[in-house]
Amino acid sequence: MTDPTAQTQLLQPHDKDLGGGFKVRRLLPAAQRRSVGPFVFFDHFGPATEQPGTEHDVRPHPHIGLSTVTYLFEGAMMHRDSLGSVQEILPGAINWMTAGRGIVHSERKPDRLKADTYVNHGLQLWAALPQVHEEIAPSFEHTPAVDIPELVEQGVAVRVLVGEAFGKRSPVKTLSQTLYLDIALPAGGRFELPPLAPELAVYAVDADASVGGEPIPAHTMALLPDGQGAVLASTTAVRLMVIGGEPLDGPRYITWNFVSSRRDRILEAGSDWAAQRMGHVPGETEFIPLPGKPFGVREPDVGTTPV
């Protein structure tokens, strides 16, 4: 039963300029809200112009206890990991890397584009694994754009990136109920988003919109009351991302690139990385030291900036 008095809560981004105009906006985790469904991390990067001689490569770094979810609007990135996966990430595709008990990966400018000028723009999310699956074997799954279900619902184009909605199911495999939608709302458009999951949030990528009658500026996330949908509307064309799913099965520690329900597991992962026991990306030799001395663990659900 919906609560008509429940209020939509807004999250503003924490911006960080990585240099050369490459801006990252972080929405999750936030002081007001640590997770939406399984998602514990939400970064919006770009649009940023990549030019010959410049790079914003993400060097090899480790993860445990989560799945990374990469989605591009523009540009390209080359994923490599300690399993030997090599995959160019292109717009519209979903790249889902499950760290489980541990994986190392990098994301770099593709060799074919090193002499080109182009724009990189997209989202990087983390989904915490259910506690029973936190220590599963790592894996990597690439779903090309052509395999992502698309439909027109209420006159609006919708891509079902992860999960199930409006009679379409994404082929991306998850370990808990997870929802991730890309909605292209036209100018003057109106879209009734049903309560597709127990927890839902809407992010305005590139223009202002309204959610449940509440104005939502661009780069803002609207957290819907639990178990409720909302009417999405805009006077101008806007891209809206919907994330959600079932609530996490307990709090998570988030420190650096590690996510776990257990404090001691975070410390163990830090020791393993310092001793270079977490594997290596074939052909890559850079090593990023642990941040901070000594490497510590914050309280559950408190996020720190990953490398």
Backbone phi and psi for residue 106, each to the nearest 5 degrees, phi listed first: -135, 160
Pick from 186, 236, 179, 170: nearest CA to 202: 179
Q: What is the tens place of the pLDDT at every residue in 211-241?
A: 999 999 999 999 999 999 999 999 999 999 9
Q: What is the tens place of the pLDDT at every residue in 69-89?
A: 999 999 999 999 999 999 999
The C-alpha atoms of residue 253 and residue 262 are separated, in whole angstroms, by 7
Return the pLDDT at 34. 96
Instruction: Categorize the per-residue pLDDT at 301 as very low, low, confident or very high, splitting at 50, 70 and 90.
Output: very low
Q: Is residue 205 classed as helix, strand or coil in its secondary structure?
A: coil
Indicate the average pLDDT of the chain.
Answer: 93
The least confident of 27-31, 132-136, 295-299 is: 295-299
Pick from 101, 57, 64: nearest CA to 80: 57
**What DSSP letter does each residue of 103-122 carry, written as one string?**
EEEEEE--GGGTT--EEEEE
The C-alpha atoms of residue 190 and residue 18 are separated, in whole angstroms, by 36
Return the pLDDT at 42. 98
Q: What is the rounded average pLDDT of the residues 118-135?
A: 98
